Structure 1
Amino acid sequence: MRETFLPTITELNAFCACVRTGATTRAAEELNLTQGAVSRSLATLEERLGVRLFHRVRQRLVLSDAGRAFQRDADRLLRELREAATSVMAFGGRGDVIRLAVLPSFGTAWLLPRLPRFRERQPQVTIDILSRLDPVDFETDPFDAALQRKNMRPADAHAADLVDERLIVVAAPELVTAPLSDEDLSRLPLLQQATRPRLWLDWFRESDVDPRPVLRGDRFEHFGMVIAAAVSGLGVALVPEAVAEDELNRGRLVRASERTLTVGSPYALIYPERSAENPVFAAFLDWLKEESTAQRAG
């Protein structure tokens, strides 16, 4: 059976423009079409769907109940189509695209400063990066790999270890002038990472500190926000050393404790078997391993 009820892109554009402008004449001006072409598109769309999408009230178009229900999906479909088109346009002018999902803070602090070196080696490759706090499902998500903690790896994916997650305590130099004991740290505002709320409990596990105040404090979604809050003097942050490195080097943060805490799951490049078979991706993986080795040696 032919699905003749499916709208065309022209009809969806005409419908959404009429919603925005309230008249076929103004919609025609916005779309650079004639008023007759917009009116025909609306009439054809209503005929396809078998419903009245607008009421004509004093030369204005007013959405019907069916039109209001349809508007949400029509706007979404056009937006997703635009996003898909602009995304695939990244292939233009370059030979290959590697699509990465990255933990935002680690990607910003560790990967992005190193990418120019990969660009020098592989100038024909475009890197398409999106932030992702949740594990990636490579069967449904459009990614070639994920730069995340290794414990986020799906069961059927590969993982190449890159950086151990060594946590350090940092603060603005106006707040802390010298490394503190755990007891002194516990008296300061402790900035919380929302997706990993037990980090401070892990830090104080061997200390004789009341755990209740340890879990209190301003809460932020990811480490980048925690570090920005620490730089602003809002409190003390427990963050990966790799993520805090730049602010430490710039002097906007200082170590607030001499201790470190290494957790069990390193940062890793996680990827499906199909990516392993791609020579361009294999070159990217080899380069990441070289960067990782160089950091450990340094």
Structure 2
Amino acid sequence: MPQSYIPTIRELEAFCALAQAGTTHLAARALNLTQSAVSRSIGTLEDRLGVALFLRERQRMALSDAGRAFRPEAEALLARLNEAAVSVMAFGGQSAVLRMAVLPTFGRAWLIPRLGSFLSAAPGTSVDMAARLDPVDFRTEPFDLAIQRSQHRTGGANHLHLLDETMVTVAAPSLVGRGHLRDEDLLALPLLQQTTRPSLWLDWFRHASLDPRRILRGARFDHFDMVIDAAIAGLGVALVPEILAREPLRARRLVKATERELETGQAYTLIYPDRAEGLASFITFRAWLGAELQGIWA
């Protein structure tokens, strides 16, 4: 078996503590160890790497050139290990963790408010959710699933159609009254822009056979939830997915500015690797998600 040059955690801790403190006495106190234990760890680390990491200067230990080069890497390794440990601890006594990457506004506006019923259906399961606009590489990333648009489909993964994306125009009642405006009327109003999908309004007016150069540009926002909040605040008309606008429409914080809708040709899609099929929590989530989406049309 080839010799391993990988330092132990104790050696890394002793090295970083001594680099910070400058004396074995202070390093030992910081680590709650004896001075001899710190010295042994430094000695075995230097033997392992074949270089002197410290130079004695009077009563202090100063980093050598090799030590200065090694320090940022050693500190970063310990920091990443600590972050990983804290991340795992955050799940407490849960027996399963379902890791998912979700479109930001879909997660905030639609999925999170419903997650309580999923967790009730999957006792002992915790959820680790990340917002993602980019495709997920399941070969290198630890996600069990992604909920994104069909354009995010990736090779080597399974794709389950959830629902087609339908866009609607919405605005605050204070801006458009009861709505029912014509497309021509929209051209006189500020039209809120979504930064990552800048062509939405162009597509809308092309379908209406209107010149998109007449658009009165409105404020720009990164995510649809920001666009929706801006519309509620009366800053302009928003063009957003109907499923995301459904709740503020029901609450009358928004009204439909026009009756027309726009099919984008995209669809919300459940994307997952083969390995997810072996997770009971994923199987439960997939069935629950399908039932929830069927329920919104009931």
TM-score range, shorter chain: 0.7 to 0.9
**Cα deviation code 1:85-130 (max 9, x no counterpart):** 3444467633333221111210121111112112222212222222
Query: Over aligned residue pairs, what C-alpha RMSD do you find?
Result: 3.2
Name 1:265's counterpart in structure 2: 266
Judged with a 3 Å threshold, the aligned counterparts in structure 2 of structure 1 residues 61 and 121 are, in CA distance, closer, same or farther, namely same
Contact 2:187 2:214 in 1 (8 A): no
**Cα deviation code 1:23-50 (max 9, x no counterpart):** 6555444433344434543454344334
Contact 1:200 1:238 in 2 (8 A): yes
Q: Which secondary structure state, in structure 1, belongs to the residue aligned with residue 260 of structure 2?
A: coil
- Alpha-carbon separation, structure 2, partners of 1:74 and 1:212: 58
- Higher mean Cα deviation, 286-295 or 9-18? 9-18
Contact 1:11 1:45 in 2 (8 A): yes
**Cα deviation code 1:50-94 (max 9, x no counterpart):** 445566678666666544543443333223323333444467633
The one-letter amino acid of 2:211's match is V
Judged with a 3 Å threshold, the aligned counterparts in structure 2 of structure 1 residues 28 and 291 are, in CA distance, closer, same or farther, namely same
The one-letter amino acid of 1:177's match is G
Say whether 1:209 aligns with 2:211: yes
Contact 2:23 2:60 in 1 (8 A): yes
Q: Which secondary structure state, in structure 1, belongs to the residue aligned with residue 162 of structure 2?
A: strand
Identical amino acids, percent of aligned pairs = 56
Name 2:155's counterpart in structure 1: 155
The one-letter amino acid of 2:170's match is V
Q: TM-score, normalised by structure 2?
A: 0.82
- Alpha-carbon separation, structure 2, partners of 1:169 and 1:154: 31
Name 1:108's counterpart in structure 2: 108
1:29-178, aligned counterparts within 5 Å?
A: 29-51=29-51, 53=53, 66-89=66-89, 93-178=93-178
Contact 2:102 2:130 in 1 (8 A): yes
- Alpha-carbon separation, structure 1, partners of 2:228 and 2:38: 52
The one-letter amino acid of 2:263's match is T
The one-letter amino acid of 1:240's match is P
**Cα deviation code 1:207-237 (max 9, x no counterpart):** 42343756x5543332223333334444432
Name 2:230's counterpart in structure 1: 229
Name 2:5's counterpart in structure 1: 5
Cα offset, 1:288, TM superposition: 1.1
Question: Structure 2 stretches of 5 or more lacking a match?
Answer: none
1:4-23, aligned counterparts within 5 Å?
A: 4-18=4-18
Name 2:221's counterpart in structure 1: 220
Say whether 1:284 aligns with 2:295: no
Question: Structure 1 stretches of 5 or more lacking a match?
Answer: none
Judged with a 3 Å threshold, the aligned counterparts in structure 2 of structure 1 residues 21 and 158 are, in CA distance, closer, same or farther, namely same
Size of the aligned set, in residue pairs, is 296
Judged with a 3 Å threshold, the aligned counterparts in structure 2 of structure 1 residues 259 and 38 are, in CA distance, closer, same or farther, namely farther
Cα offset, 1:169, TM superposition: 2.3
Q: Which secondary structure state, in structure 1, belongs to the residue aligned with residue 258 of structure 2?
A: coil
- Alpha-carbon separation, structure 2, partners of 1:278 and 1:158: 15
- Alpha-carbon separation, structure 1, partners of 2:125 and 2:199: 39
Contact 1:171 1:233 in 2 (8 A): yes
**Cα deviation code 1:164-206 (max 9, x no counterpart):** 3222223344444342433343343333222222112111213
Contact 1:186 1:209 in 2 (8 A): no
Name 1:200's counterpart in structure 2: 201
The one-letter amino acid of 1:228's match is D
Name 2:297's counterpart in structure 1: 296
Q: TM-score, normalised by structure 1?
A: 0.82
- Alpha-carbon separation, structure 1, partners of 2:279 and 2:291: 19
- Alpha-carbon separation, structure 2, partners of 1:67 and 1:222: 45
- Alpha-carbon separation, structure 2, partners of 1:138 and 1:271: 8
**Greater C-alpha Rg:** 2
Between Structure 1 and Structure 2, the one with more strand by share is 2
